[in-house]
Structure 1
């Protein structure tokens, strides 16, 4: 058994290699398929002690396609490229956030995942 290298981990899916564009699209599609309400959030840091992120616009209550959600991610990234950006899914029955994952990290090298 091998120990993972010591490095900063970020929320759900952080122990996997960076998500490709196709994998990000599939995760967003999962949010929509489950009936969760997607939202885009950003923050200058992603510290475990940082509980509040800024929401990019309102949650996407009427989103029906992945392209709508990913379009908002791209708009957020173009304005706040120096911030961490994540997609979250809210369950309107349980009234809580049920999943989130990082789709953009600041100063990220291009070529593979997290590029929307």
Structure 2
């Protein structure tokens, strides 16, 4: 199963040239860049680990790409994403986020139905087989 979270997630994986172009766009908008990683891609996992510090003062995409390469080397079997944070008053939120690294084998999630008290049914996700 292919995890689809963030921008571009339904497209084929971006290569480094395409990632660099997106980072350049974010920097032109004066958005701060952050790199995060996780081995738990569950949709409700909002707490990915941050790689280094957010790059608020960076103006060159090469710096982001160097940090990304270091993260990929240290965490090759993790999901890695780039976040672009807009600190403009009134926005103050992530404006763009996209996955830039995936493990060789992605985990599977199954939708499971659970029978509860009486005729109540609930649904949830569980690790696939």
Select the structure with the greater relative contact order (CA < 8 A; seq sep ≥ 6).
1
The structure in which a higher percent of residues are strand is 2
Q: Give 1:95 shift.
A: 1.6
Segments ≥4 residues shifted beyond 3 Å: none
- Are residues 1:97 and 2:111 paired? no
Aligned length: 103
Determine which of 10, 18, 23 is the counterpart of 2:13: 18
TM-score (norm 1): 0.81
- Give the distance between the partners of 2:3 and 2:49, measured in 1 at CA: 21
- Where does the alignment leave 5 or more consecutive residues of structure 2 unmatched? 106-129
- Are residues 1:33 and 2:28 paired? yes
Over 3 Å counting, the alpha-carbon distance change for 1:87 and 1:7 in structure 2 is: closer
TM-score (norm 2): 0.74
- Where does the alignment leave 5 or more consecutive residues of structure 1 unmatched? 1-5, 109-116
RMSD, aligned CA: 1.5
